[in-house]
Amino acid sequence: MATSSRRVGAETSKTRDTLLDCVETMMLEEGYASVTYRALAAKAGVTPSLVQYYFPTLDDVFIAAIRRYSERNLAHLNKVMEKRAEDPLRALWEYSWDEATGTLMTEFMALGNHRKSIRTEIAAVTESVRTLQLDALTAKFGADARPWGDLSLPALQLLISSLPKFLNLEKGVGVETAHAELIEAFEGYLDSIEPAVKRKPAPRKRSR
């Protein structure tokens, strides 16, 4: 079968970025189901045909949004893990809570339950994040380290990153039984492995 010769808008286009900004806004305000060609075009003040020029299918819209979001996320995470090389477990725990409670990521995950191509993209992004996190833990503890009982570093990493997601899902449906107790106990275990590092407060900026 011959491949389509249809032109697609450049990924470096400002118009494309503006459209993706609108996608994020719509998902945050109304959920992923609100994103259609017509609605996105109206939000951006362009024609539906222009949206389709940059994104031939609706899945292309969401995949581009996820990739852009993940690029920002990975850049941020990389800076965090580099800055907190002394306490990567604590940094991972805090990051995992931010990720679990982030509205945009929650919408992407919900979308992935309904669209296979989106699910595949989310899986690839998740693996990239876990690789970066595991590299940071390995740099401190060593590849074969088991700082907590019999848990390997990959298993410990999975526990730390998945627990906030599970608790946040329960909280979303109104279930919070023993949440506070579990979090307190878990943070106590983290303290026993990696005592909290005292950090200097950021210098205050002079008011203008």
* For the chain, percent of residues with pLDDT exceeding 90: 74
How many Å apart are CA 50 and CA 52, to the nearest integer? 5
- Are residue 113 and residue 187 in the same domain, yes or no? yes
- Are residue 165 and residue 68 in the same domain, yes or no? yes
Q: What is the pLDDT of residues 81-126, one digit of tens each?
A: 999 999 999 999 999 999 888 888 889 988 988 888 889 999 999 9
pLDDT at position 106, please?
Answer: 86
Tokens for 198, please give them: 């005292």
pLDDT at position 26, please?
Answer: 97
Average pLDDT, the chain: 88
- Are residue 51 and residue 115 in the same domain, yes or no? no
- Are residue 42 and residue 129 in the same domain, yes or no? no
pLDDT at position 117, please?
Answer: 86
Which of 86, 179, 99 has its CA nearest to residue 141?
Answer: 86
- Are residue 122 and residue 181 in the same domain, yes or no? yes
Whether residue 206 lies inside any domain: the answer is: no
pLDDT at position 14, please?
Answer: 92
Measured on CA atoms in the order 107, 158, 68, 83, is the torsion positive or negative? positive
Give me the mean pLDDT over the 143-161 stretch: 94
Residue 108 neighbours by CB under 8 Å, 6+ apart: 27, 32, 62, 65, 66, 69, 118, 122
Adjacent-strand bridge partners of 151? 148
CATH code, domain with 20: 1.10.10.60
pLDDT at position 197, please?
Answer: 66
Whether residue 79 lies inside any domain: the answer is: yes
Whether residue 74 lies inside any domain: the answer is: yes
- Are residue 97 and residue 165 in the same domain, yes or no? yes
Are 62 and 111 in contact, with CB atoms under 8 Å apart? yes
Whether residue 1 lies inside any domain: the answer is: no
* For the chain, percent of residues with pLDDT exceeding 70: 88
pLDDT at position 8, please?
Answer: 56
Query: Domain limits at 47?
Result: 9-56
pLDDT at position 202, please?
Answer: 46
- Are residue 14 and residue 49 in the same domain, yes or no? yes
Its pTM stands at 0.81
Whether residue 199 lies inside any domain: the answer is: no
Give me the mean pLDDT over the 53-74 stretch: 94
- Are residue 104 and residue 42 in the same domain, yes or no? no
Whether residue 202 lies inside any domain: the answer is: no
- Are residue 123 and residue 33 in the same domain, yes or no? no
pLDDT at position 3, please?
Answer: 38
Q: What is the pLDDT of residues 196-208, one digit of tens each?
A: 766 555 444 444 4
Give me the mean pLDDT over the 72-76 stretch: 93
Whether residue 104 lies inside any domain: the answer is: yes
- Are residue 131 and residue 181 in the same domain, yes or no? yes
- Are residue 128 and residue 158 in the same domain, yes or no? yes
pLDDT at position 114, please?
Answer: 86
Q: How many domains does the chain contain in total?
A: 2
Give me the mean pLDDT over the 154-172 stretch: 94
- Are residue 51 and residue 79 in the same domain, yes or no? no
Whether residue 4 lies inside any domain: the answer is: no
Residue given tokens 């950021």 in the structure block: 202
